[in-house]
């Protein structure tokens, strides 16, 4: 597959190498011939911004600019967080809204999504929890601004 649009069914965007990415959706899984960063940027552009614009939005809303979660689309809201620095080729992106819970497994973590799918990732439980908290804070700020 050449192109992919991030959507509400997207659970994880996992790079395999510089030009191939594994997409995990609620009911499907496939390979896209594109980098994970390009998929995220294309998703932001599809919904009217760019990755840099979404990063600036996160920074202005919650003051975070390193490994910051981003709002790909605000009406749902569709929030994704990076597992490591997005500047690195190995950066995966996880859908915050689709996470049910996380489990610590040695030096890794298992994410259990709301549909029951389990995904083991090479990320410490502490870092994963921090990324979830940042995403929750961003979501909370977005909701409070919509209400105001």
pLDDT at 2: 78
Whether pLDDT at 146 is above 90: no
- CB–CB of 72/91 below 8 Å? no
φ, ψ (nearest 5 deg) of residue 24:
-110, 120
Measuring CA to CA, which residue among 97, 121, 91, 76 is closest to residue 26? Answer: 97
Per-domain boundaries in the chain: 10-147
Task: Identify the CATH number of the domain defined by range 10-147.
Answer: 2.40.50
pLDDT at 147: 78
For the segment 15-74, what is each residue's pLDDT rounded down to a tens digit? Answer: 999 999 999 999 999 999 999 999 999 999 999 999 999 999 999 999 998 999 999 998
φ, ψ (nearest 5 deg) of residue 36:
-60, -35
pTM: 0.95
Residue-wise DSSP of the chain = -------TTEEEEEEEETTEEEEEESS-EEEESS-HHHHHHHHHHHTTS-HHHHHHHHHHHH---SS--EEEETTTTEEEEESS-TTSTT--EEEGGGEEEEEEETTEEEEEETTS-EEEESS-HHHHHHHHHHHHHHHHHHHHHHH-
Three-state secondary structure of 10-25: EEEEEEEECCEEEEEE
For the segment 104-127, what is each residue's pLDDT rounded down to a tens digit? Answer: 999 999 999 999 999 999 999 999
pLDDT at 14: 98
For the segment 41-54, what is each residue's pLDDT rounded down to a tens digit? Answer: 999 999 999 999 99
User: Pairing relation of β-strands 29-32 and 78-82?
Assistant: unpaired
**Terminal-residue alpha carbon distance, the chain:** 42
């Amino acid at each position: 597959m050449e192109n992919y649009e991030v959507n509400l069914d997207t659970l994880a965007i996992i790079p395999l190498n510089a030009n191939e990415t594994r997409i995990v959706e609620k009911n499907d899984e496939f390979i896209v011939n594109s980098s994970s960063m390009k998929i995220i940027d294309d998703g932001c552009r599809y919904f009217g911004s760019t990755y840099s614009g979404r990063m600036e939005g996160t920074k202005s809303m919650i003051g975070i600019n390193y490994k910051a979660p981003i709002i790909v689309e605000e009406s749902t809201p569709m929030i994704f967080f990076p597992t490591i620095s997005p500047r690195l080729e190995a950066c995966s992106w996880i859908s915050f809204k689709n996470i049910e819970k996380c489990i610590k497994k040695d030096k890794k973590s298992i994410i259990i999504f709301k549909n029951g799918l389990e995904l083991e990732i090479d990320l410490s439980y502490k870092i994963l929890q921090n990324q979830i908290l940042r995403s929750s804070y961003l979501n909370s700020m977005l909701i409070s601004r919509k209400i105001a």
